[in-house]
Amino acid sequence: MNATTNMDCIDSGTENCPCYLAATGDCLICSRLQGKDYCDCLWKGVCIYNEFTQNGERINNPRRDFSARILSKETYLEDLFALTLSVGRGFALKAAVPGSYVFLQAPDTPAYYQTPISVMSADGAQGTITLLIKGISAKTKAICAQEEELILRGVYRGGISQLESIRGRFGRLLPDSKLLVLTKGVGFAPAVNLLHWAGKEAVSALLVDTDKLAEAAVWENLPSDFPREQVRLTSLSEYLEAEKFQQLIEETRCTALVVLASDFYIEEIRRLLASMPEPPALISSKNANLCCGEGICGACSCVSADGTVHKRCKCL
**Could you report the per-residue pLDDT of 139-193, keeping only the tens digit for each?**
999 999 999 999 999 899 888 988 888 988 777 888 889 999 999 999 999 999 9
For each of the domains in the chain, give its residue range(s) and CATH number, in order of start: 1-62 (no CATH), 66-156 (2.40.30.10), 160-289 (3.40.50.20)
> What per-residue confidence (pLDDT) applies to 186?
94
Mean pLDDT by 10 residues, the chain (316 residues): 54 86 85 85 81 88 93 96 96 94 94 93 96 94 95 90 85 89 95 93 93 94 94 94 93 94 94 93 86 79 75 74
Residue 295 makes CB contacts below 8 A (sequence gap 6+) with 19, 20, 21, 26, 28, 311, 313, 314
Query: What secondary structure does DSSP assign to 15-50, as a single string?
Result: TT-S-HHHHTT--SS-SGGGT-SS------SS-HHH
> What per-residue confidence (pLDDT) applies to 146?
95
> With a threshold of 0.85, does the pTM exceed it?
yes
**Could you report the per-residue pLDDT of 6-24, keeping only the tens digit for each?**
467 888 888 888 888 888 8
